[in-house]
Structure 1
Amino acid sequence: MVTRIEMLSVEQAKAAAKECGIRESMAGLSVYRALLRHPQLASAVNHLLTTLLFTGNKLDVRLRELLIMRIGWTTGAKYEWTQHWHFAERVGLPPEDVIAVRDWRSSTRLGAADRAVLAAVDDTLERGKISDSVWAECVRHVGSPEQLLEMVIAIGNWNMFSQLLRSVEIPLEDGVKDWPPDGRIPQGGDA
């Protein structure tokens, strides 16, 4: 596995994860094998991820996974798309809905809340902020102020991860097939 920053071995990553309170199961992931070279940073990033994914999340899981997949697709982050394709499957998103984020504006599979969140992702990636009209749609369809805050933080978090994954050239784990389900790569995406 070639990366711009040498990853720790799985054994080294497990030891570092244990020292900084990160679940051992995460240490085998390539992204953690790189992040754990800086344990304090890895711990902080892991805390935010754990909050957004498992322990403190307020945003609907479907909306979160759709926004992550849109970021992965739009930014061409193979690792992000591939890992969250499998995560989205585990939490029950229909594959057709996940595929729809590729061209969400013309999809008939997505509801108003889905569209509002995906528009927020596109606004953020294109303009650096969510426009007033898209924000109004998010208020109407996403929910509480806590959910809206989490949506904004989630967009920023997974955009940061996309930049990390692509800039450091984090490889997929051995045996993981890229760009599921069909191998289609977005324009400018990681091959």
Structure 2
Amino acid sequence: MSGNRIISGPETFDIDAREAQVVGNPRIGPLTAEEFTDEARQLVAETFAQVEAIDKSDIPDIFGILFKHPGLYRAQMQLGNELGRNGCIPPRERELAILRVAWLSRAPFEWGQHLVYGKNLGLSVEDVERITHGSDADGWAEHDRAIIRAVEELMGDYAIADATWDILAKSWTEAQLMELPGLVGHYLMTALIYNTLRIDLLEGNSGLRRR
């Protein structure tokens, strides 16, 4: 039945149990310094392009793991950069969508990292709490509620419903409407990879408890 998997209210779960399941003791170990190929070194340069001196000993293990599939990493990075730097969805609204993806995916790494980005872009403590309670929560502006609802529909029914589309179309361009499913798909893919590989949280990232 269409829509029967859509979660529009609170997605409650045991945070400690979830993080024990998907964080720590990565299933694939990182490359050692001796194992870095020319392609991996190029990925280091591309990833840390703003850093003048790159010391491989300072590279977080996450990159040493992801560089074991350089083609996948490069494609993921390129799409992420396109959506983040050149995307047409306003940054605050983009982070609203990403955070709902992260919460529904129960993805500690993605939630913790993007919560910082979202708050820097203007998401309030109340916004963050509402994200965990979904599109049914009180207090959403109509457009923001539709963004959250669209994420829920994409993850639960693999399509945006007409009513949600019509609200978004009041203020978004066709390009923005096209971009949203791609954005959700990209960050769902990232959550699936990080959760499955059990990627460790970076320093300062407190995972799903972060607010």
Shift of 1:33: 3.3
Select the residue among 15, 27, 33 that pairs with 1:4.
27
Shift of 1:139: 1.3
- Alpha carbons of 1:19 and 1:125: their partners in 2 closer, same or farther (altered >3 Å)? same
In the alignment, is the contact (CA less than 8 A) between 1:22 and 1:46 conserved in 2?
Answer: no
How many angstroms apart in 2 are the aligned matches of 1:155 and 1:39?
A: 22
In the alignment, is the contact (CA less than 8 A) between 1:30 and 1:173 conserved in 2?
Answer: no
In the alignment, is the contact (CA less than 8 A) between 1:52 and 1:154 conserved in 2?
Answer: yes
Hey, what does 2:199 align to over in structure 1?
A: 170
How many angstroms apart in 2 are the aligned matches of 1:107 and 1:63?
A: 18
Instruction: State the TM-score, normalizing by the size of structure 1.
Output: 0.81
Hey, what does 2:10 align to over in structure 1?
A: none
Cα RMSD (Å): 2.7
Secondary structure of 2:208 counterpart = coil
- Alpha carbons of 1:17 and 1:91: their partners in 2 closer, same or farther (altered >3 Å)? farther
One-letter identity of the residue aligned with 1:51? E
Q: Considering only CA atoms, is the larger Rg found in Structure 1 or Structure 2?
A: 2
Structure 1 residue 148 corresponds to structure 2 residue 177: yes
- Alpha carbons of 1:175 and 1:97: their partners in 2 closer, same or farther (altered >3 Å)? closer
Hey, what does 1:136 align to over in structure 2?
A: 166
Hey, what does 2:153 align to over in structure 1?
A: 123
In the alignment, is the contact (CA less than 8 A) between 2:151 and 2:184 conserved in 1?
Answer: yes
Structure 1, 12-21 or 35-44: larger mean CA deviation = 12-21
How many angstroms apart in 1 are the aligned matches of 2:48 and 2:158?
A: 35
Structure 1, 41-50 or 3-12: larger mean CA deviation = 3-12
In the alignment, is the contact (CA less than 8 A) between 1:36 and 1:42 conserved in 2?
Answer: yes
**Size of the alignment, in residue pairs?**
179
Hey, what does 1:42 align to over in structure 2?
A: 73
Secondary structure of 2:201 counterpart = coil
One-letter identity of the residue aligned with 1:165? Y
How many angstroms apart in 2 are the aligned matches of 1:149 and 1:29?
A: 34
- Alpha carbons of 1:31 and 1:92: their partners in 2 closer, same or farther (altered >3 Å)? farther
Hey, what does 1:185 align to over in structure 2?
A: none
Instruction: State the TM-score, normalizing by the size of structure 2.
Output: 0.74
- Alpha carbons of 1:32 and 1:147: their partners in 2 closer, same or farther (altered >3 Å)? farther
- Alpha carbons of 1:9 and 1:73: their partners in 2 closer, same or farther (altered >3 Å)? farther
For CA contacts below 8 A with separation 6 or more, give which structure has more relative contact order.
2
Select the residue among 2, 19, 28 that pairs with 2:42.
19
In the alignment, is the contact (CA less than 8 A) between 2:153 and 2:160 conserved in 1?
Answer: yes
Hey, what does 1:158 align to over in structure 2?
A: 187
In the alignment, is the contact (CA less than 8 A) between 2:109 and 2:205 conserved in 1?
Answer: no
How many angstroms apart in 2 are the aligned matches of 1:100 and 1:175?
A: 23
Hey, what does 1:85 align to over in structure 2?
A: 115
- Alpha carbons of 1:177 and 1:15: their partners in 2 closer, same or farther (altered >3 Å)? farther
- Alpha carbons of 1:37 and 1:94: their partners in 2 closer, same or farther (altered >3 Å)? same
Shift of 1:35: 1.8
1:107-157 per-position Cα deviation (integer Å, ceiling 9, x unaligned): 31x21221111111000111111122222222124x101111111110111
